[in-house]
Amino acid sequence: MTEVSVDYNFKAIESKWRNYWKEEGLFDTELSETEDNFYYLNMFPYPSGTMHVGHGRNYIIGDTLTRFMMMNGLNVLNPMGFDAFGLPAENAAIERGIHPREWTEDNIADFKEQFDQWGIEYDWDKEVQTHTPEYYRWTQWLFLKLYEEGLAYEDVSPVNYCPHCDTVLANEQVISGKCERCGSEVEEKELKQWFFKITDYAQDLLGDLDKLDGWPDHVKKMQADWIGRSEGVEIKFNLADRPGELNVFTTRPDTLYGATYMALAPEHPLVETVIEDTEDPDKKDELRAFTDKTKRIDQTRRAGGELTKEGVFTGEYAVNPINGEEIPIWIANFVLTEYGSGAIMSVPGHDQRDFEFAEKYDIPIIEVIAPKKDNPTGDLDEAYEEPGYLVNSGEFNGLDSEEAYEVIGSWLKERDAGEFTVNYKLRDWLISRQRYWGAPIPMIHCPDCGTVPVPEEDLPVELPDVEFIGNKGLAEIDDFVETTCPVCGAPAKRDTDTMDTFVDSSWYYIRYISANDSKKIFDTGTVNDWLPVDQYVGGVEHAILHLLYSRFITKFLNDVDLIDFNEPFAKLFTQGMISHLAYRCEDHGWIPPEEVEDGNKCPECGKELSVTMESMSKSKKNVVSPKDLIEEYGADTERIYTLFIGPPEKDVEWSDRDVKGSHRFLTRVWRLAAEHLHLFDGDHDFNPEELSDGEKALWRKINQTIKEVTEDLEGFSFNTAVSSIMELTNEFYRLLSEVDPDPGLIKEGIKKMTLIISPFTPFIGEELWHRMGHENSILDADWPEWDESALEKEESELAVQINGKVRAHIKVASEIDDDEEKLREKVLKLDRISEKVDSKEVKKFIVVPGNLVNIVV
RNA sequence: GCCAGGGUGGCGGAAUUGGCAGACGCGCGGGACUCAAAAUCCCGUGGUUCUUAUGAACCGUGCGGGUUCGACUCCCGCCCUUGGCACCA
């Protein structure tokens, strides 16, 4: 027997196994295998700066599950890559005077080193990096495919423009009028842009949410709200004094008699015509001034509801098709140009927005829906938006609003004045970015042939390698811009936009399957074997956009028969963020925790600091570095603490103090095993039947723990899985301090404990496994099964309640713990019970088998 | 404003087809070891009151009601909080 140190020398252990799994190729997945496939996927990172312990959560969860599934005999694919294009790389590069590629690739190297440190393993043969020509070539190919199918188009439209980043932002990247990235005020600008026609898929994207049983409900809800389907009627209003008509969408055709004015968005085409035709110069100026002013205020702010309602009467009238009445047409700042037709019929009696506007400008308010039949309220203080019965509505009076919806809708349809339609909030996907660091849009603008696609064989359209990166991206680089038309050969110009990085990440999970294929985007057969992704895990911040875009691209690829599935991710899990204490001084800004003096005083000025929990970020100076942590406690400690910290779907607070507890636990695990490794030198069999009571209890605990850990891992309940292993080690120590237990039991127990802890703490797991005499990786071992019969107890301890309050406990043989007659007899004999029950009548005797009895007196 | 989630000891959190609230960890208190400290190990730890060295009673899962033999769990009405959406006609 060799003398082994019982000290937990995590540095020696971790450096020993750091590259072992990679060298052994244990995480390399054979894609031609089709048995027991499991595609596990973490959202790939944007490689910015260095990772902190908060980033680790996602990958630690993934690595733990992958190891668990591997031990369960599954052929797991768990690839990793980098979402490497994007604005921050460009900003950082400009700041440092280097190329964004350099910055990005340095970061990627850093990330990979961090994965190694954590013991997080991937099949790197299948890696994708979205900024490489090998990858974006196929992103461009995908663009051409969408173009070919009429789903990529150019359009001039007002866009959000951030003067600081000098780029166009998608609506969703604007947070209450400010740039999502830099916080600058967003302006509006007219530009020709590329769009993907995601709205063609609105109904499928919405309807198929029902199929996604493995997705959290709240994510599906967020997507459904984002798509925003509403049913209604498009109604045609003729203009009173000129040819033409005004189309409006309404969900309330039942209120048509209550329409007392029309309201146009300032961008509505009729607005311009009317202004031109206005003869009175004062009126003309008034209209022009209002329209210009309102247009200048960017759309997101207008849509944000921050503005008070304003409008101006155009002098024009429209004819209500239901009763022939003429109603005034206004221009109003609260009408959205991009939804519906950009014009509405206003029913102030039954829409609060219309009500407020009508009150302000003294426009009549007509009640057409009454809460009770034939019983109008009279004067309205506010709009009545609930269903009810029609009044003041001619031949339709008395109908309830639901019937009226159908009846009036059909009435209009018959007269060619209306049509039942569906409207969506979802807009087409603006993918153009006036930036350098992205995949160039593979289109060429020829003066003669117009806009033509780059031929497939000319892909990729490579990003020009330039030293200086300006603010306007590719448009500044003449060598790139100047080209020849692929159709006629004449001089032409390349499109200088690059694609939104959400395009890159909308299909990467498919490319992993054919990461090195230089001939085609992917191999359809293999992709169909492995996808959809069985389990996708990532941050909830991607609940809407990334997931929606990926679903859209998947549906598109399915429609063009490149894949045979139409949803990319069968199951989705969204993990919460990790926050950490952050200190802030009024005068000196954020202060790193380690510099904070006693009593939360600022080290600069001694002022009281404000202390809050904030998500980890460099700017708040509250990041915890994995490198420091691993240096002090080891990667296994970080891993198990991260999993133990709280439920994975919730936001949690990092506590430097609590980390020590996890380290202490691993020390206990290590010592327990190390002190008994000599048992593995000899044969020590044991028979569970012949154990003492104490030993039996440990054997039961061992089996119970295997069961709990297995079920907890399957259910993403890592924190409780860890706590049950903690309980098991406590049980070991308790028994060892009392008696000298059966060596066979201890040996078997420690072996099983090592197996079940190994996905959480792979370094310790691998080290102990080898010290036990195994030649192969612990990943090649089978995940232990629990013995159901070992879980059974011979004795049950029942709580004895009187009127629902616990008054005593009783131990009974397990066979009779559901036998009311026998229990009643035993329980009533207990001193504590008999004196309480006394002479009172026992009305009821409730038995919950194996749990409790309740005596009702 | 609308939608979704959450509110449990000094702290992070366990426990819901209704069945002994507070597992596990942190912190704290006491003890062992030590010249001492750290580390480690053992014991204790929701509150109040009584009792007295063994316990007991009452209260207790945001607040107020309800259903039930029994409610952290279910129902009704509130409060607070965190996310998402927010003039979508």
**CA-to-CA distance for A461 and A495, rounded, in angstroms?**
10
**CA-to-CA distance for A412 and A418, rounded, in angstroms?**
5
**CA-to-CA distance for A808 and A799, rounded, in angstroms?**
6
CA of A652 to C1' of B5 (A): 14
**CA-to-CA distance for A15 and A20, rounded, in angstroms?**
9
Structure tokens that stand for A63 in this block: 């690595």
pLDDT at A3: 40
Residue A299 pLDDT > 70: no
Residue A248 pLDDT > 90: yes
Nearest residue to B15 via alpha carbon and C1':
A720
A742: pLDDT confidence band, cut at 50, 70 and 90? confident
Strand partners, A800: A808, A853
Say which nucleotide is closest to residue A659, CA to C1' distance. B26
**Which amino acid belongs to residue A376?**
P
- A303-307, A578-582, A709-713: which has the minimum mean pLDDT? A303-307
A168: pLDDT confidence band, cut at 50, 70 and 90? low
pLDDT at A4: 47
- A72-76, A94-98, A156-160, A176-180: which has the minimum mean pLDDT? A176-180
**Which amino acid belongs to residue A4?**
V
pLDDT in tens, A692-738: 888 888 899 999 999 999 999 999 999 999 999 999 999 898 888 88
CA of A827 to C1' of B22 (A): 27
Contact positions of strand B to protein Cβ (< 7 A): 3-5, 12-15, 19-21, 23-27, 39-43, 56-58, 69-71, 82-89
- DSSP string of A611-667? EEEEE--GGGT----HHHHHHHH-HHHHHHHHHHSS-TTS-EE--HHHHHHHHHHHH
CA of A57 to C1' of B21 (A): 30
Structure tokens that stand for A489 in this block: 């050969």
pLDDT in tens, A33-69: 888 999 999 999 999 888 889 899 999 999 999 999 9
CA of A851 to C1' of B59 (A): 25
3-state helix, strand, coil in chain A (%, to 5): 45, 20, 35
**CA-to-CA distance for A660 and A805, rounded, in angstroms?**
39
CA of A192 to C1' of B85 (A): 29
Maximum distance among all Cα pairs of chain A, rounded to whole angstroms: 109
Cβ atoms within 10 A of the Cβ of A184, count? 13
**Which amino acid belongs to residue A537?**
V
The candidate with the shortest Cα–Cα distance to A717, out of A641, A810, A643, is: A643
Strand partners, A432: A499
The candidate with the shortest Cα–Cα distance to A258, out of A168, A340, A330, A325, is: A325
Mean of the pLDDT values across residues A675-690?
Answer: 85
Say which nucleotide is closest to residue A337, CA to C1' distance. B88
| Pairing between β-strand A535-539 and β-strand A572-575 as defined by DSSP bridges | parallel
Cβ atoms within 10 A of the Cβ of A625, count? 13
Say which nucleotide is closest to residue A808, CA to C1' distance. B20
Q: What CA dihedral angle connects A383, A385, A390 and A392, to 10 degrees?
A: 20
pLDDT in tens, A477-533: 888 999 999 999 999 999 999 999 999 999 999 999 999 999 999 999 999 999 999
CA of A544 to C1' of B21 (A): 38
CA of A662 to C1' of B59 (A): 35
CA of A784 to C1' of B50 (A): 52
Say which nucleotide is closest to residue A665, CA to C1' distance. B25
Omega cis (within 30) before A688: no
Average pLDDT, chain A: 88
Nearest residue to B24 via alpha carbon and C1':
A723
Nearest residue to B86 via alpha carbon and C1':
A304
CA of A205 to C1' of B17 (A): 34
Say whether A800 sits in a helix, a strand or coil. Answer: strand
Phi, psi of A627 (to 5 degrees): -60, -45
Nearest residue to B13 via alpha carbon and C1':
A646
Say which nucleotide is closest to residue A229, CA to C1' distance. B88
For the whole model, what pTM was predicted?
0.90
CA of A728 to C1' of B44 (A): 21
CA of A698 to C1' of B24 (A): 18
**CA-to-CA distance for A637 and A666, rounded, in angstroms?**
7
**CA-to-CA distance for A624 and A581, rounded, in angstroms?**
10
Structure tokens that stand for A154 in this block: 């150019």
Contacts of A197 (CB under 8 A, 6+ apart): A150, A151, A152, A153, A428, A429
Residue A804 pLDDT > 60: yes
CA of A471 to C1' of B86 (A): 33
**Which amino acid belongs to residue A523?**
D
**Which amino acid belongs to residue A187?**
E
**CA-to-CA distance for A10 and A117, rounded, in angstroms?**
12
pLDDT at A178: 66
CA of A547 to C1' of B63 (A): 40
Q: What is the ipTM of this complex?
A: 0.92
CA of A731 to C1' of B61 (A): 29
pLDDT at A468: 63
A2: pLDDT confidence band, cut at 50, 70 and 90? very low
**CA-to-CA distance for A634 and A281, rounded, in angstroms?**
79
The candidate with the shortest Cα–Cα distance to A805, out of A730, A856, A739, is: A856
Task: Give whole-number Cα distances, A255 to A340, A374, A450, in Å.
Answer: 18, 15, 48
Nearest residue to B26 via alpha carbon and C1':
A658
| Pairing between β-strand A389-390 and β-strand A174-175 as defined by DSSP bridges | unpaired
pLDDT in tens, A618-668: 778 888 889 989 999 999 999 999 999 999 998 888 888 899 999 999 999
Residue A776 pLDDT > 90: yes
Mean of the pLDDT values across residues A349-363?
Answer: 90
Element (H, E) at A704: helix A693-714
Task: Give whole-number Cα distances, A600 to A172, A586, A623, in Å.
Answer: 39, 13, 18
Cβ atoms within 10 A of the Cβ of A148, count? 12
Nearest residue to B71 via alpha carbon and C1':
A804
CA of A602 to C1' of B40 (A): 37
pLDDT at A823: 77
Say which nucleotide is closest to residue A249, CA to C1' distance. B89
Nearest residue to B56 via alpha carbon and C1':
A807
CA of A809 to C1' of B67 (A): 28
Structure tokens that stand for A600 in this block: 């939360």
Say which nucleotide is closest to residue A796, CA to C1' distance. B20
Mean of the pLDDT values across residues A456-464?
Answer: 92
The candidate with the shortest Cα–Cα distance to A842, out of A820, A822, A830, A824, is: A824
Q: What is the 3-state secondary structure (H, E, C) of A472-533?
A: CHHHHCHHHHEEECCCCCCEEEECCCEECHHHHCCCHHHHHHHCCCCCCCCCHHHHHHHCCE
CA of A223 to C1' of B64 (A): 37
CA of A30 to C1' of B25 (A): 40
A1: pLDDT confidence band, cut at 50, 70 and 90? very low
Nearest residue to B42 via alpha carbon and C1':
A737
Nearest residue to B84 via alpha carbon and C1':
A222
Residue A163 pLDDT > 70: yes
Nearest residue to B85 via alpha carbon and C1':
A225
**CA-to-CA distance for A679 and A772, rounded, in angstroms?**
9
Share of chain A above pLDDT 90, in %: 53
Say which nucleotide is closest to residue A233, CA to C1' distance. B89
- A163-177, A222-236, A466-480, A745-759: which has the minimum mean pLDDT? A163-177
pLDDT at A735: 86
pLDDT in tens, A589-626: 888 877 776 667 777 777 777 777 777 877 788 888 89
CA of A805 to C1' of B66 (A): 20
**CA-to-CA distance for A347 and A246, rounded, in angstroms?**
16
Mean of the pLDDT values across residues A764-787?
Answer: 94
Element (H, E) at A109: helix A100-118
Phi, psi of A493 (to 5 degrees): -120, 140
- A392-406, A415-429, A613-627, A645-659: which has the minimum mean pLDDT? A613-627
CA of A829 to C1' of B55 (A): 21
Structure tokens that stand for A143 in this block: 């663009």
Say which nucleotide is closest to residue A335, CA to C1' distance. B87
Domains of chain A, first to last: 1-30+624-792 (1.10.730.10), 31-130+505-575 (3.40.50.620), 141-197+428-502 (no CATH), 229-424 (3.90.740.10), 578-622 (no CATH), 795-856 (3.10.20.590)
Say which nucleotide is closest to residue A230, CA to C1' distance. B88
Strand partners, A1: none
Say which nucleotide is closest to residue A172, CA to C1' distance. B85
Q: Cα dihedral sign for A273, A274, A280, A281?
A: negative
CA of A733 to C1' of B33 (A): 18
* Contact (Cβ atoms closer than 8 angstroms) between residue A27 and residue A65: no
Q: What CA dihedral angle connects A312, A318, A320 and A326, to 10 degrees?
A: 80
